[in-house]
Structure 1
Amino acid sequence: MLKQRFITGIILAPLVIAGFVLLDSLWFAVMVGAIVSLAAWEWARLAGITAQVGRVAYAGLVALLLIGLYLASWPPYLLWLSLLWWLLALVLVLQYPEGRALRAGLLPLAYGLAVLLPAWAGLVWLRAQNGGLWLLLAAVVMVWAADIGAYFAGKSLGKRKLMPRVSPGKTLEGLLGGVLLTQLLAVGAMLYLNWSASSILAGMLGTLVVVLFSVVGDLTESLFKREQGLKDSSNLLPGHGGIMDRIDSLTAAIPLFALGWFLFGSLLG
Structure 2
Amino acid sequence: MYPDRVVKLLTKGFAVLKQRIITALVLLALFMGVLFLLPMQWFSLIFVAVILLAGWEWANLSNLNRALRFVFLAALGLTLMVTAQYVFSMNFNDPDIDRGRQILAVACGWWALAFLWVQSYPSSAALWGNRWVRGLIGLVVLVPTWLSLVVLRGLDHGAWLVLYVVAIVAAADVGAYFVGRKFGKRKLAREVSPGKSWEGFFGGLGACLILALVTSYLFELPLKNTVLFTFGVLVTALASVIGDLVESMFKRHRGIKDSSHMLPGHGGILDRIDSLSAALPVFTMAALASELPKYL
**Contact 2:151 2:284 survives alignment (8 Å):** yes
Name the SS for the 1:188 alignment partner: helix
2:288 to 259, 262, 265: 262
Alignment of 1:37-186 (within 5 A): 37-49=52-64, 51-73=65-87, 75-76=99-100, 77-105=102-130, 106-186=132-212
Deviation at 1:267, TM superposition (A): 9.9
**C-alpha distance in structure 2 between counterparts of 1:268 and 1:73, whole Å:** 22
Measure, in 2, the Cα distance between the counterparts of 1:179 and 1:219. 16
Distance in 2 between the 1:178 and 1:266 partners? 22
Mean CA deviation greater in 240-249 or 5-14: 5-14
* AA in 2 matched with 1:168: P
- State the identity as a percent: 41
Deviation at 1:16, TM superposition (A): 1.3
* Residue identity matched to 2:192: V
Distance in 2 (CA, whole Å) between partners of 1:204 and 1:72 is 30
Q: Deviations over 1:48-96 (max 9, x none)?
A: 21x2232233223212321232233252211111012112211211211
The answer for unaligned runs of 5 or more in structure 1 is: none
The answer to whether structure 1 residue 239 and structure 2 residue 254 are counterparts is: no
- Of 190, 198, 211, the residue aligned with 2:237 is 211
SS at match of 2:172: helix
Letter in 2 for 1:13: L
Cα distance in 2 for partners of 1:118, 1:240 equals 23
* Separation in structure 2 between the aligned mates of residue 158 and residue 81 of structure 1, nearest angstrom: 33
Q: Which amino acid aligns with 1:19?
A: V
Match of 1:32 in 2: 47
* Alpha-carbon distance between aligned partners in 2 of 1:212 and 1:69, rounded to the nearest angstrom: 26
1:2 aligns with 17
Q: Secondary structure at the match of 2:273?
A: helix
Give 1:156 shift. 2.3
Task: Check conservation: 2:155, 2:293, Cα contact below 8 A.
Answer: no
Q: In the TM superposition, what whole-angstrom CA distance separates every residue of 1:194-219 from its partner, at most 9, and x where no partner exists? A: 11233222222111111111111111
3-state SS of 1:73 partner: helix
The letter for the 1-side match of 2:24 is G
Mapped to 2, the partners of 1:147 and 1:233 lie a distance apart of 20
2:226 matches 1:200: yes
Q: How is 1:217-228 mapped onto 2 (pairs within 5 angstroms)?
A: 217-228=243-254
In 2, Cα distance between equivalents of 1:181 and 1:256: 18
Taking structure 1 as the reference length, the TM-score comes to: 0.94
Q: Which runs of 5+ in 2 are unaligned?
A: 1-15, 89-98
Secondary structure (helix, strand or coil) at the match of 1:72 reads: helix
Q: 3-state SS of the aligned residue for 1:194?
A: coil
1:219-269: CA deviation from partner (whole Å, max 9, x where unpaired): 100110010111111110111011111100100010111112233326985
Alignment partners' CA distance in 2, 1:268 and 1:95: 41
Partners in 2 of 1:182 and 1:158 — Cα distance? 18
Deviates more, 1:56-65 or 1:166-175: 56-65
Aligned length, in residue pairs: 268
Distance in 1 (CA, whole Å) between partners of 2:168 and 2:30 is 21
Q: Which runs of 4+ in 1 moved over 4 A?
A: 266-269
1:14 is aligned to 2:29: yes
SS at match of 1:232: coil
TM-score when normalising by structure 2 = 0.86
SS across alignment from 2:291: helix
